[in-house]
A and B are shown apart, each in its own frame.
Chain A
Amino acid sequence: MLRLVLRRLWQGAISILGASVIIFVISRLSGDPVVMLVPPDAPPSMIAEIRAQYGLDQPLVWQYLLFLGHALSGDFGNSYRWQMPALQLILDRLPATIQLAACGLLFSVALAVPIGVLSAVHRGGWIDRIGRVFAMLGQAMPAFWVGLLLILVFAVQLNWLPAFGHGTPAHVVLPAIALGWYPVAAQTRIVRSAMLDVLDSDHIRLSRALGTPERLIVWKYALRNAAVPLLTMLGVYFAAMLGGAFVVETIFAWPGVGRTVVEAVFSRDFPVVQAGVLFTSILFVLSNLLVDLSYGLVDPRIRDVR
């Protein structure tokens, strides 16, 4: 187990390093951040001065080495726009981001598992057909549209929930639904096909032959077998939601990391982009690691494999 963790962390560190190099180069190729930080009539001397201040006049390799050196001690430099530490800008948004991603994932699982299981159990029945349409709708409706629709119905018309912002549990409901809506389709399909596989297996038939109530067969004995492929998918989605919920965050004015990083990209705020990408890479690595470890929890056969 320990070896697995260490190996994954090592592989992860390499991926993160690679990502940071790529982003470093690409962002600096995308344009000049300094002209966006000064008024249009700024004299060239000021532009040159600021460029020197930010070390943007140095050779690229040297810039990267400096960045890496500072990054290893936790210093990602100051945001060009906000004039506060870039890392702090990201980390301050972390609790809200985690809250939204967790709730979004919870919502998608809460829908996908029952629909997927019932679709498999009553294969070809009306639940299966409705489930398939529902899943297709999920994939056809983009998050921003779902978000605006939710606001229109539940906030404006019915006034049940707040339209934007962050603070109370009520605030997270609509954004979580908007965020978790799209993955429901894919997750439902995975659950359904995994369940169909399992329900066909010998051990389930034996269980039935020994008089196990159907309810127990489906929800305990079959479902746990279907969990492994679902877990893989959840891990990927969770990481994606943590770093990339930009659209939902903008619509609901949710103070999350996704928005921060995308806005930083638009304003060529390199330190924040760098810190944001690093943060997201770390999340992906950790998320994959967690999923790997959780396989062991769910499927005991994996525990004893190297």
Chain B
Amino acid sequence: MKSWTIGLAAASLAALPLAPVHAQPSGTLTVGLAAEATIMDPTRSSAGVDQYFFGQMFEQLLRTDPELKQVNWLAESWALSEEGGKPVITVKIRPGVTFHNGDPVTSADFQYGMQRQQDPKLSRFSHLLNAVESFEIIDTLSFRLRFKEGDGSFITSNLHLWAMPKRHIERVGEEEFQRNPVGTGPWKFVSRTVKEELRLEAYEGYWNRQHRPGVKNLVVKIIPEDLTRVAAYKTGAIDWIDAVPPASAAEFSKLENTSTVTAVTGNNLFLNFATHLPNSPFNDVRVRRAAAHAVDMDAIIKRVLFDQGERYTQVGRGTPGHDPELKPYPFDPRRARALLAEAGHPRGFEVPCYNLTTPREPNIKEMGEAVYAYLSAVGIRCQIRQLEYGAWINLGRRDAPPEMDGVVSWMWSHGLPGDPGTPWLGHMHSYQAGRGLGSYSYTDNPEMDALLRQQQTTMDPAKREELLKQIARIKHDQVLGGLPTYRPMVTIAWRTSKVAFKPWPGPGFWRNFQEIGLK
């Protein structure tokens, strides 16, 4: 039936209120996700998958809307200024926002949340708030963040802070709060059975009257096996399905009474080369460019990924630093071979190529094999080594054996719309042991290092955008820090006659039920 593909530039979906503005929504909707969260507290989580759950119940000061524009959310307004040469962000909280237990949201709650996020005993992201010097409460609904130095990705990360119910947590204690989370989001926690389901109830006191759920009860079923999830949708056990397997995407778009949406997820995949090893052939930029010309990524996206992928050149559409002028290296195997010959490898060479098999993105194993096949065809003869996720992560890390000694298929999400700053610091800045820079990087380019550190402390959005574009151009020209391959897309489907759904991005994902309801 109907099927829309939302490109990032498409402005066709305005943020119209979909759910009728009822006083009390009713009914129950059952949806199916492919994976589940292990932790439901945003300040304690470390895995992206946790957002599937807490993203429905907790909110931040800013938010990305369906058009991937950053909009004010719990913050009514905010402003960036400077005092004594150091950046300051002043925030006014929206009045009338309450937690699920009825408590009003105040500056103290954001301060409390920030303290949790900065505590390395609780949070795995405490380093992201290193630049914040102090949190100054102005009054109940406004506060000031003082920075030691500029933090380039602070703003693009929606100001990081989550609204956490201070009084509630202090009263019921940590353990109880982990079991029964309380936030400001459109959905209230009801119950959770590990490996089975999550039950949510629409929060009646939710502040956003325009964009809110149109059904009372939401049952989220966890069905990890692709074909079973599809079967569950077809039998009517669920009316909304996440992550339609790529091979079934075409079938779903033709299914009766089914609407689908295909959208880019926040992940960025690329190939990285062992340029840290002195005798690696990839130290020669011609060899890297040869690799870039060797792979017909469009064909791979079409055939191996069933069109569920989007090409990107360094930075994807919508993300700060995106440069429409930059075009991917064209598929040109003859040029690739010529470059190899020029670089002194007329007969090519053998190289170990590490491939991730765990399907953190659909068909990633097959995608990697296809890419390596193209490389082999021009003379970069790949000896494929398949790795499951744990071994793959261990391989990539610079601070511990084993050593990555060839080509590796890697990924580092920029987010939606996201920011390339932190990822580039991780896989393109030179590796500095003990400093948390270049932990997964094989590049050592001082000019690049300087630019990266500069963007890290630039908070002015316009200045930063220019810097990022500059970095992207150099990265592209020299094929530094890896060769981008594609951004995966996800297809979501739901029953047209029964379900009204508007896709909202959670931080980096589309599995967000901000606006879902029964017709």
Contacts and interface: CB of A to CB of B under 8 A. Distances in A.
A66 B385 CA distance: 37
B232 A164 contact: yes
Contact of A255 (B126, B196, B228, B394): B196
Contacts of B397: 35
A252 B394 CA distance: 31
B237 A255 contact: no
Contact of B195 (A152, A155, A156, A260): A260
Contacts of A44: 399, 433-436, 439
Nearest to B227: A148
Contacts of A164: 221, 223, 225, 228-229, 231-232, 237
Interface string A156-189: 1001001111100000000000000000000000
A253 B228 contact: yes
Interface string A13-45: 000000000000000001111011111111111
Contact of A163 (B39, B195, B232): B232
Contacts of A82: 38-39, 194
Interface string B82-114: 000000000000000000000000000000000
Contact of A36 (B127, B178, B232, B389): B389
Nearest to B432: A44
B151 to A, nearest CB: 13
B124 A38 contact: yes
Nearest to B195: A255
A253 B225 contact: yes
Contact of A250 (B121, B224, B234, B435): B224
Given A36-B389, A38-B124, A251-B225, A83 B178 contact: yes
Interface string B474-503: 000000000000000000000000000000
Nearest to B440: A40
A259 interface: yes
A184 to B, nearest CB: 23
B299 to A, nearest CB: 29
Interface in A125-150: 148
B44 interface: yes
Contacts of A8: none
A32 B234 contact: no
Given A32-B394, A42-B127, A44-B434, A255 B235 contact: no
Contacts of B389: 36, 266-267
A260 to B, nearest CB: 7
A197 interface: no
Given A155-B231, A165-B237, A250-B225, A36 B124 contact: no
Contacts of B225: 164, 250-253
B346 interface: no
Contacts of A159: 235
Interface in B166-182: 178
A163 B231 contact: yes
A49 interface: yes
A92 B434 CA distance: 41
A239 B454 CA distance: 60
B80 interface: no
Interface in B389-424: 389-391, 393-394, 397, 399-400, 412, 422-423
Contacts of B394: 31-32, 35
B456 to A, nearest CB: 11
A257 to B, nearest CB: 10
B46 to A, nearest CB: 6
A41 B396 CA distance: 12
Contacts of A33: 390
Contacts of A31: 390-391, 393-394
Interface in A215-263: 250-253, 255, 259-260
Given A159-B235, A164-B223, A39 B390 contact: no
B388 interface: yes
A260 B224 CA distance: 13
A43 B399 CA distance: 11
B12 interface: no
A268 interface: yes
Contacts of A165: 196, 221, 223, 237
B42 to A, nearest CB: 13
Contact of B422 (A41, A83, A253): A41
A253 B231 contact: no
Contacts of B235: 155-156, 159, 162-163
B393 A35 contact: yes
B122 to A, nearest CB: 11
B319 to A, nearest CB: 17
B227 to A, nearest CB: 5
B129 to A, nearest CB: 12
Contacts of A32: 394, 400
A37 B435 contact: no
Contacts of A148: 227-228
19 contacts: A30-B390, A35-B394, A41-B127, A42-B439, A44-B434, A46-B124, A46-B127, A148-B227, A151-B228, A151-B231, A155-B231, A156-B231, A156-B234, A159-B235, A164-B221, A164-B228, A251-B228, A253-B228, A266-B358
Given A45-B120, A163-B232, A165-B223, 14 more contacts: A30-B390, A35-B397, A40-B412, A40-B426, A82-B38, A148-B227, A148-B228, A151-B231, A162-B237, A163-B237, A164-B237, A250-B225, A253-B221, A266-B389
Q: Top 10 closest A-B pairs, CB basis?
A: A43-B436, A163-B231, A255-B195, A253-B223, A31-B390, A41-B426, A251-B225, A151-B231, A81-B38, A43-B127
